[in-house]
């Protein structure tokens, strides 16, 4: 089963892990992306996330389909992404995958976060500490529609 969610609520890693748990699985692999307090010498106080929600959920489902095509023994997948304000140290994205053995779930989680950054229409704005600039929208270099991706992959 696939558990996909965009939410303004705090992401609870334990609850998301429980969603993918299954008696036939000996492995649950997790990726938890959190807000860090710095970027390129600036003090980050929080992140703001926005999404094109319908397209984001469709893209997340596509990632799940690709995971299942590559690793046929995967049981459950959860991809939860937070929207709105995410303070330092809190999770902005949690990906959890269960499988009978660790290799499939570990590889799938790694693939999933890379694909999410490439293809899911979610944008973030960094809010900086006073005196370090106000805020700045950030572009994922992996994102297929970004300038840096285009210069690296389409030239």
Give the pLDDT of the chain (155 residues) as one tens digit per residue: 999 999 999 999 999 999 999 999 999 999 999 999 999 889 999 999 999 999 999 999 999 999 999 999 999 999 999 999 999 999 999 999 999 999 999 999 999 999 999 999 999 999 999 877 788 777 766 656 555 544 554 55
Q: What's the CATH code of the domain at 129?
A: 3.90.1170.40
Tell the burial category of 23 from Cβ atoms under 10 Å away from its Cβ (0-12, 13-18, 19+): exposed
Full residue range of the structural domain in which residue 75 is found: 2-153
In the prediction, which pLDDT does 151 show? 52
- Distance in angstroms (rounded) separating the CA atoms of residues 139 and 125: 9
Distances (CA, A) of 37 to 9, 50, 87, 106: 20, 20, 9, 27
In the prediction, which pLDDT does 135 show? 80
- Distance in angstroms (rounded) separating the CA atoms of residues 56 and 115: 12
The widest CA-to-CA distance across the chain, in whole angstroms, is 53
User: How many domains would you assign to the chain?
Assistant: 1
In the prediction, which pLDDT does 130 show? 82
For residue 15, how many C-alpha atoms fall within 13 Å in the half-sphere facing its CB? 8
């Amino acid at each position: 089963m696939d558990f996909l969610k965009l939410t303004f609520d705090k992401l609870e890693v334990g609850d998301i892990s429980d969603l993918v748990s299954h008696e036939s699985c000996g492995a649950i692999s997790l990726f938890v992306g959190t807000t860090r307090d710095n970027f390129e010498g600036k003090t980050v106080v929080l992140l703001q996330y926005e999404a094109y929600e319908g397209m984001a959920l469709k893209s997340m489902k596509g990632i799940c389909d690709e995971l299942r095509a590559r690793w046929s023994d995967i049981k459950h997948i959860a991809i939860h992404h937070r929207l709105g304000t995410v303070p330092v140290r809190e999770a902005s994205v949690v990906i959890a995958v269960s499988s009978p053995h660790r290799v499939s779930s570990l590889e799938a989680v790694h693939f999933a976060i890379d694909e999410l950054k490439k293809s899911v229409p979610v944008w973030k704005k960094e809010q900086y500490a006073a005196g370090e600039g106000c805020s700045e929208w950030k572009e994922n270099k992996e994102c297929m529609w970004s300038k840096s991706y285009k210069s690296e992959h389409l030239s």
